[in-house]
């Protein structure tokens, strides 16, 4: 059930809000079980066969946490984390590991066509965050309903943001519609939902039509012209931003409608003046997870420069692999690890760079590396690079209007979250958002309704 689908916007969401309001008003003790049931129903709508996996994942991890609390056996937490990673590896990386094994002479590992459960990377990381903090003595015990809702809350279960237990659990205890700012929060949630939908259908999907055919042509072995290559590179650069930040805006808006504040995930990343600055602004909750649960665990900056450089490179390489089971994702992550290492060495050497030059280098680096991320293989990426250098085909004029408009919005900002919290409560603004919502609905009805890019991760 896509957030940008009629079945969600006109069936699931209105029904869920109505039932939630009735329960919150007349039977508030039923609110959390209801949200959990709604979340599991939302997840199961995609493919009912995956719903038992999510339920079993919640139950097993909750029991592991409960056993650790009662017994104090430290081994239980590493075993539970390892079990989560094994399940993730089976569903997401089995064939990738089989390909690696088949590189060994005389070995023939089987490969299977295993369907990837939606959101498995995201809910696995939620388990890991809670279990790690529980072992460190930072997280308390939660009952099954609250823990299940932390993992499965429908606005963020499929593609984030990655939410720490400490950011959301206390909100479950509130009576959201009895707050003094309840109406304001609900209105801002609606505005975020509309903005996210607009970013997705007017920019993300439009830019997909610019980029997808060219990357497909490169994957098919065709030479790519200079105009095509730059259209594909810049088109996908802004497509992935509007697609994913649009989803995040919708997730934050939907959560607000149900009385929950989720953490922001983007802070105008294309304004970054260094690669380190970029990763503080892009997919911020993933960056935070990688920093706190991988980079610091590997030693971080506490054990000398050599360890820091190795930890940066390894962390980002694993972050790339998290995005997908393929060499291109691995290479993309490694390139950002090397870039961050170079950024660290530059800074520690005492060098500086003017902000305009820093922005140009950072943005150019992202554009060049995102080609590897998007391409099906290295050969396809190489054809795009050849085209960008004028070494490919000829006779193609670049489509630039949607790219130029998207670039202006993405580079100038502000974020949707900042904007909706600065808008005054004027009736004219409410009318404008209502008109925008109607226009978006017509656009959804007329065009191809693309899935969100990060659903595949």
Catalytic residue set: 323
**Rounded Cα gap, residues 155 and 43, in angstroms:** 10
Residue 96: name the closest of 378, 327, 332, 380 by CA: 327
Burial class (CB in 10 A: 0-12, 13-18, 19+), 446: exposed
In degrees rounded to 5, what are phi and psi of residue 439?
A: -60, -40
> 222 burial class (0-12, 13-18, 19+ CB within 10 angstroms)?
middle
Closest-CA residue to 417 (of 200, 197, 280, 265): 265
10 Å Cβ neighbour count for 316? Answer: 26
Cα–Cα dist 114/92, whole Å = 8
Give Cα separations from 158 to 3, 81, 120, 123, 153 (angstroms).
11, 20, 8, 8, 9
Q: Among 65, 93, 96, which residue's Cα sits nearest to residue 81? A: 65
CA 6 to CA 347: how far, in whole Å? 50
Ranges assigned E (strand) in 345-421 = none
């Amino acid at each position: 059930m896509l957030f940008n689908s009629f079945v969600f916007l006109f069936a699931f969401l209105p029904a869920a809000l109505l039932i939630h309001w009735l329960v919150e008003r007349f039977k508030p003790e039923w609110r959390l079980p209801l949200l959990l049931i709604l979340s599991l129903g939302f997840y199961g709508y995609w493919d009912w066969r995956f719903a038992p996996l999510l339920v079993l994942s919640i139950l097993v991890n909750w029991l592991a946490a409960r056993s650790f609390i009662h017994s104090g056996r430290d081994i239980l937490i590493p075993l539970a984390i390892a079990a989560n990673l094994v399940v993730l590896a089976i569903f997401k990386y089995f064939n990738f590991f089989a390909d690696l094994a088949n590189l060994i002479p005389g070995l023939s590992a089987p490969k299977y066509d295993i369907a990837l459960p939606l959101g498995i990377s995201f809910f696995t990381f939620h388990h890991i965050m809670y279990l790690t903090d529980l072992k460190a003595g930072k997280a308390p015990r939660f009952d099954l309903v609250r823990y299940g809702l932390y993992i499965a809350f429908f606005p963020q279960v499929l593609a984030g943001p990655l939410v720490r237990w400490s950011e959301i659990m206390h909100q479950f205890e509130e009576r959201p519609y009895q707050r003094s700012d309840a109406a304001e929060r609900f209105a801002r949630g609606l505005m975020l939902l509309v903005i996210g939908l607009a970013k997705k259908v007017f920019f993300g999907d439009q830019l997909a039509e610019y980029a997808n055919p060219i990357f497909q042509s490169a994957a098919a072995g065709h030479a790519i012209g200079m105009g095509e290559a730059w259209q594909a590179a810049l088109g996908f650069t802004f497509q992935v931003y509007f697609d994913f930040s649009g989803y995040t805006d919708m997730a934050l808006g939907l959560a607000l409608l149900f009385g929950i504040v989720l953490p922001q995930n983007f802070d105008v990343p294309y304004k970054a003046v260094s690669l380190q600055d970029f990763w503080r602004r892009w997919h911020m909750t993933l960056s935070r997870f990688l920093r706190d649960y991988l980079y610091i665990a590997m030693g971080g900056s506490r054990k000398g420069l050599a360890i820091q450089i190795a930890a940066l490179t390894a962390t980002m390489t694993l972050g790339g692999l998290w995005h997908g089971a393929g060499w291109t994702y691995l290479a993309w992550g490694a390139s950002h690890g090397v870039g961050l290492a170079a950024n660290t060495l530059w800074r520690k050497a005492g060098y500086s760079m003017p902000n305009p030059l820093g922005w140009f280098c950072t943005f150019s680096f992202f554009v060049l590396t995102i080609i590897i991320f998007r391409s099906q293989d290295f050969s396809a990426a190489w054809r795009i690079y050849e085209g960008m250098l004028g070494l490919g085909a000829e006779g193609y004029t670049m489509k630039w209007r949607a790219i130029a408009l998207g670039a202006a919005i993405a580079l100038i900002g502000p974020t949707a979250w900042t904007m909706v919290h600065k808008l005054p409560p004027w009736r004219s603004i409410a009318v404008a958002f209502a008109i925008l919502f109607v226009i978006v609905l017509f656009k959804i009805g007329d065009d191809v309704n693309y899935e969100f890019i990060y659903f595949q991760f």
